Structure 1
Amino acid sequence: MAPTHLTTAIYNARSASNNVNNVTGTTADYFAAQWMNPSDIFSILLLLGPEVIQQAVAQLAGCRITPVAFSFGWVAYAVRALLSAVGDGRLMPPIENTSTMVISADHGHSWTTSSWILGRLLRDISDKVDKEMSGEAPHRSTGTWSDWHPSFWRSILFCGHTPKSAEPKPPTQPWEALRIAIYEVADEENIMHGMPKKDAIWFSGFAVILIQLTIAMIPWIIHDEWGTFQITCYGIFLALLGSSLPQWRREKWACPKKGGPTITLTEGNGSRFAMVILGRKGVGLHFPILARGSRTAPASLTTRLATSLLAINWIALLITATGLQIETWCEFIDSFF
């Protein structure tokens, strides 16, 4: 009896999925077939690097739409987000620098903060300051320039006549024991406190999404293969939904937005940098409450249901992407944008 159309379709699908196994020849032929059409690479990438996704969403979260592109690690992150929402009720990542200290100017009390956004703020400003202080003179508690600088020993080596080419120039920037940067809250109508600025980095997310869609359309245009485009579109849709949950905004800016006292951010004893934020009544965030995390709301029932549905859909996308055995290079390239 002749096979039905369904049997023929199943047979063709299985034959296409075994593109590497169908190769007959040397080991080089197998390697060439795998590099021509890599199989199962995209599905593996979806399970790697959930921390990257969480950090990226936390960095851009705050608006109604968070433009985080479809990339590797989303499936693993979706499962982690579900466990966090059902467990401790948090979507924001833990603070990276656990030694970040907050000192209140009102009563002088200090404590370590668990706020991810304050830790990231201090880290970024500290890196900028360290770069500015990279050309300073080395720290010496005693002695003069000639006592410790290599030019002093060069003069002895050359019998008191140091060549000009061997004489280094003294550093123009003196050594700083402590640098304090002072910032004040901006009081302008066009600035919304607790809302990220839509700069070039924020809009670059939409540019990356457009590039992904363009690459995914190439197999559809050339070979009439629409599976890559469908998987990319659905992945982008799920990524935008997962990164735009209102819970992100509630956790990231968990404090009143009617001003607060002055605080100092530092890494404690031994740190050479301190960051002072001058508080203003009625304007800006209440940084002590944000630092303590006392107003952080746990995940709502809506957030838990949303993360559950997103995790199910991401797993379904993973299963679907595993069955894609043709034009896999486009999906592989899309996952790195």
Structure 2
Amino acid sequence: MPPAPIFQLFPRREFDPGAPAASFADEWANPSNYAFTILLLLGGDVIARALAQLAGGPLTPVAFSFGWVSYATSAICTAVGENKLMPGADCPCEVINGKNGYVRANNSFVIGRIVRDYEAWMGSAVHNITQSLIDARWKFDKEIAEKDIPGSGAEVVRPRQAGLVVSFWEPSQTIEAGKPGHDILHWSGLITAAIQLGIAAIPCGLWGDWSVLLITGAATILCFGMGALDQWGVEKWACRRLNKRSKKNFILTRGNGAQHAIAIISHGRGLDLEDLATGFDNLDAPSITLFAQLATIFLGLLWVVLLITSSAITDSAWFLIAVGGVGILQNMFVAGWKRNPAALGVPIDYVGVVGDVKVMNTLLAVERKYEKLGQSMIGSFFPGDLRENEKKLWDEVAAEWAEKKSVENSKKEKA
């Protein structure tokens, strides 16, 4: 086949440098149907994290926004191929059994967020002792610098962390574990949905154009329908509940070199966090239901139908883009905002805190308060062998516990 003539590759047209500006102006004045269609395909990972934050109850108010079509179609692959809906942990940390010292790498989204957001909810007592340790370390560094070079102490930068701080918590006796909390993130979804419907109603009220209102209303129903699946709660808290016969203690921490460790003294209440850390997708037989898989497929197909339908909107495209813009702001807010453990379904109450510039001293203080708890942390914070003087200190603490038990047993015998 002979090559096309050069004039067919470069058709003749008038030289008009103002044409691009006119095209841009027309598009911004009234965006084409392709603009919103393309936007709907962006940001699926934000939707996944927003759903993971709020899911677990009958109402999961994640607002309609750009990215829902992308998420809904990828969720089909996740539900059918990987047998799950919940994303994995997005903060590396570990869970230590407070009795035997077994360390489990965390794969739970919930535990990851508890550790990630810890400094936002740890409270003033933990904050104050942390700052006092940092100040003590800073003062020590200044003194060392002054000894080496007089006058150089003023140039020493305040350290970002020092030593180890261990706070103690216990499961709440008034709030049930494994249920989502209703904080500002939860209510933001309902408020955003109302605002979106209000925006969508403007062209309907002004010109009788109900297309934007139809798309927004249908999309909101699909959003809430996806979040209402019971499978979210099954995966989010995929663990056993503790009882009086299983009084486990847990330590949540980022590991060696971390500033904080969160010790949870269960008293036989709450969730088995060691179980939870395994992660739903690491179970030998993840129990996703057939209904959840079929519902995810059905909702994904409806999102594709909505995508095709929305491409017919031309005259009121800006209102639809505004609706999606408000929604994506709420989604990003929900996906990234810090939450306390109760909002994530792990309600805990503050008990106390210990800390020292020397990590070993902190672990010894923990051991004196709760037997075997400090000892279980040695492997994570001191992976090597202990020195002889350190072994002697641990032997002394063990002797103290043996004496306490002996006194308690003698009291029981007398009683």
Q: Which residue of 2 aligns with 1:14?
A: none
2:96 counterpart residue number: 103
Corresponding position of 1:289 = 275
Which letter maps to 2:216? Answer: T
Deviation at 1:280, TM superposition (A): 2.0
Deviation string, structure 1 residues 303-322 (Cα, Å, up to 9, x no partner): 11101111110001111111
CA distance 1:150–1:170, shift in 2 (3 Å): farther
Q: Equivalents in 2 of 1:318, 1:124: separation in Å?
A: 36
Does 1:81 pair with 2:68? no
The match for 1:162 is none
Q: How many Å separate the matches in 2 of 1:61 and 1:286?
A: 20
Match of 1:313 in 2: 302
Using the size of structure 1 for normalisation, the TM-score is 0.80
SS at match of 2:86: coil
The residue number in structure 2 matching 1:147 is 146
Conserved in 2, the CA contact under 8 Å of 1:91 and 1:251? yes
Gap change, CA 1:169 and 1:296, over 3 Å in 2: same
Q: Counterparts of 1:185-204 in structure 2 under 5 Å? A: 185-188=171-174, 191-204=175-188
Partner of 1:35: 28
What do the CA deviations read for 1:154-179 (whole angstroms, capped 9, x no partner)? 9xxxxxxxxxxxx89997x9963111
Residue 199 of structure 1 and its aligned partner are, at CA, apart by: 2.1
User: In structure 2, what residue type is equivalent to 1:185?
Assistant: P
- Match for 1:181 among 167, 172, 180? 167
Q: Distance in 1 between matches of 2:221 and 2:160?
A: 53
| Paired position in structure 2 for 1:214 | 198
Secondary structure of 1:144's counterpart equals: helix
Contact persistence 2:164–2:259 (CA under 8 A):
yes
Name the Cα RMSD after superposition: 3.0
Aligned to 2:151, the other structure's residue is in SS state: helix
The residue that corresponds to 2:4 in the other structure is none
Question: Residues 260-284 of structure 1, C-alpha deviation per residue, up to 9 Å, x if partnerless?
Answer: 5110011111212111111121x21
What's 1:7 paired with? Answer: none
After TM superposition, give the deviation of residue 68 of structure 1 in Å: 0.9
Residue of structure 2 equivalent to 1:250: 234
Structure-2 residue corresponding to 1:270 = 257
Residue 57 (structure 1) aligned with residue 51 (structure 2) = yes
Structure 1 unpaired stretches of 5+? 1-24, 155-166
Measured after TM superposition, the shift of residue 217 of structure 1 is 0.3
What residue in structure 2 maps to residue 238 of structure 1? 222
- In 2, the alpha carbon distance for the partners of 1:149 and 1:34 equals 67
Deviation at 1:78, TM superposition (A): 0.6
Letter in 2 for 1:235: A
> Which residue, 64, 70, 73 being the options, matches 1:70?
64
Aligned CA distance change for structure 1 residues 180 and 45 (closer, same or farther; 3 Å): same
- Does structure 2 retain, via aligned residues, the 8 Å contact 1:264–1:274? yes
8 Å Cα contact 2:141-2:156 kept in structure 1: no
Shift of 1:201: 2.1
Gaps of 5+ in 2: 1-17, 327-415
Shift of residue 53, structure 1, vs aligned partner: 0.3
> Conserved in 2, the CA contact under 8 Å of 1:89 and 1:299?
yes
* Residue number in structure 2 paired with 1:327: 316
- Secondary structure in structure 2 of the residue aligned to 1:184: strand
What is the CA–CA distance in structure 2 between the aligned matches of 1:193 and 1:295, rounded to whole Å? 25
Q: Give 3-state SS (helix, strand or coil) of 1:204's partner.
A: helix
- Counterpart CA distance in 2 for 1:41 and 1:59 is 29
Distance in 1, matches of 2:261 and 2:100, equals: 18
- Spell out, residue by residue over 1:226-269, the C-alpha distance to the aligned partner (whole angstroms, 9 max, x if none): 10000000100100001111110000011123445110011111
Q: For the structure 1 residues 175 and 290, does the alpha-carbon distance in structure 2 shift closer, same or farther, using more than 3 Å as the test?
A: closer
Structure 2-normalised TM-score? 0.65
Identity across aligned pairs (percent)? 34
Q: Is the 8 A contact 1:254 1:296 kept in 2?
A: no
- The corresponding residue for 1:161 is none
Is 1:122 equivalent to 2:115 in the alignment?
A: yes
Q: Distance in 1 between matches of 2:205 and 2:148?
A: 67
> C-alpha displacement at 1:149, in angstroms?
11
Q: Structure 1 residues 101, 224: closer, same or farther in 2, change over 3 A?
A: same
Determine the C-alpha separation between the residues in 1 that align with 2:264 and 2:114.
11
Write out per-residue CA displacement over residues 183-221 of structure 1, whole angstroms, 9 at most, x where no aligned residue: 111101xx1211111122211110000000000000100
1:122-143 residue CA offsets vs partner (Å, 9 max, x unmatched): 0000466798768944658766
CA-CA distance at 1:327 after TM superposition: 0.8
Q: Tell me if the contact between 1:48 and 1:73 (Cα under 8 Å) persists in the aligned partners.
A: yes
Using the TM superposition, name which of 138-147 and 254-263 deviates more. 138-147
